[in-house]
Amino acid sequence: MVLRAHDDGHENDTVPGTSGSPDAPAGARRRALVAGSVGNFIEWYEFGVYGYFATIIAARFFTPEGGSDVEGLIKTYASFGLAFFFRPVGAALFGRIGDRIGRRPTLILVICLMTGATTLIGVLPTYATAGAAAPWLLTLLRIVQGLSAGGEFGGAVSLMTEFAPDGKRGRYGAWQSFTVALGLLGGAGAAALLATVLTEHNLESWGWRLPFLLTLPLGGVALWLRLRLDETPAFRREAAAAPDRVPARTARTGEVVRAIALGAARLMGWSAAGYTFLVVLPAYLQSSLNASFQQALLATVVANLGFAASILPAGALSDRVGRRAPMLAGAALVVVASLPLLNLLQDEGVSDWWKALALFAAGAVVGLMAGPGPAMLAEMFPTDVRYTGLGLAYALSNAVFSGCAGLIITKVIERTGSVDIPAYYAAATCAVSVLALAGLRGDAHRKALR
């Protein structure tokens, strides 16, 4: 068996119509979809909350008396980015465990780690209380979150796609991205609600902690769901045949590495544009365009609604026409539309309705990449390395192009004074993804997962 990184790793002799799991009961498929989705929701809810409260966290943890607000925001994004750089470590660590002992036990472990670390952020002492220890404690918990998040994606996508029925792998995988949108919307909704019902003083002194503490009951529900999971049929078949395949695994190592690099390039635009428009936007609007906290959150909610609206249709479309067409369309649209979109937001003469429509459209364009993306990655790797391979491709792309988005954009704007930097950043990364996606095979969606 040979894994060809340039053609998504499919063998030429796979049989159409066998991409699903015919031995999986319908109830097991539903449980897999819900249990895989809920962990993603919690993960991205927390990352969204951290991004939306970035200016408050900067003031509470990274800005000592007399410190610069901009410098504090840069340090906050540095902590944000550091967690992303531990994602590949988590993807490799938990991916290896998941490919050896199973998807179910590994996903149970990572949800416990994510829930615990996020809840503890809600009770951390601030700089005013703990001094220099406060930012270090926050960064340590961010590292734990990064490790667990790195193990979440590969397991959740493997779970969903390996349980998917024939012809529905794109739809099942799209639920991973859809719950990303729901998590970001949940975080934005929690932040907006608190900003509405609390005074500014209460929000900054203790109100920001509440969304992090809410993770504890959410994590309890996710754990209960994952304890009821069955192991995937694909993993059970692979585990039964594993002793006979060790030499083949060793021979494929170089090809797997190349597939990981190619997968990361295909996701680069999704990662960068997604975080630029859906997470970094609130702090950008506040620091560069003088928007209020409530206005920035409202803009983010609108963009995330557009993102959520297009994900499932894009995943379903990719089951009919292939993954390449919708993903290429999304990346190309970001390349040509990023700067006009940002200029529209900067124009005080444009009505709020037009700005809202533009933000909705920007989110929808990112959704064109995010919907088919998980299934596309799952199709690039065989079962015995799928958890590790797709998890690493996703984690590496996110570490560099999502985790650093806020830090890069804020720092370059500070140095250059140009408020167009977010558009250039999203367009440049999507241009690379266009090139990587151009070689995506058009019939991969019709073939069986190996």
The domain spans of the chain are: 24-237+248-446
How far apart CA 116 and CA 223 sit, in angstroms, is 12
Does pTM top 0.85 for this prediction?
no
Check pLDDT > 90 for residue 249: no
When the pLDDT of each residue in the chain is averaged and rounded to a whole number, the result is: 83
pLDDT (average), residues 134-155: 89
pLDDT at residue number 23: 58
Check pLDDT > 80 for residue 219: yes
Distances (CA, A) of 322 to 14, 62, 111, 158, 327: 16, 46, 32, 19, 9
Residues 169-212 pLDDT 10s? 999 999 999 998 898 788 878 888 888 898 888 988 899 899 99
CATH code of domain 24-237+248-446: 1.20.1250.20
How far apart CA 423 and CA 207 sit, in angstroms, is 32
Distances (CA, A) of 81 to 85, 283, 364, 396: 6, 15, 25, 12
How far apart CA 420 and CA 288 sit, in angstroms, is 10
What count of other Cβ atoms lies within 10 Å of the Cβ of residue 68?
12
Q: Are 280 and 402 in contact (CB under 8 A)?
A: no
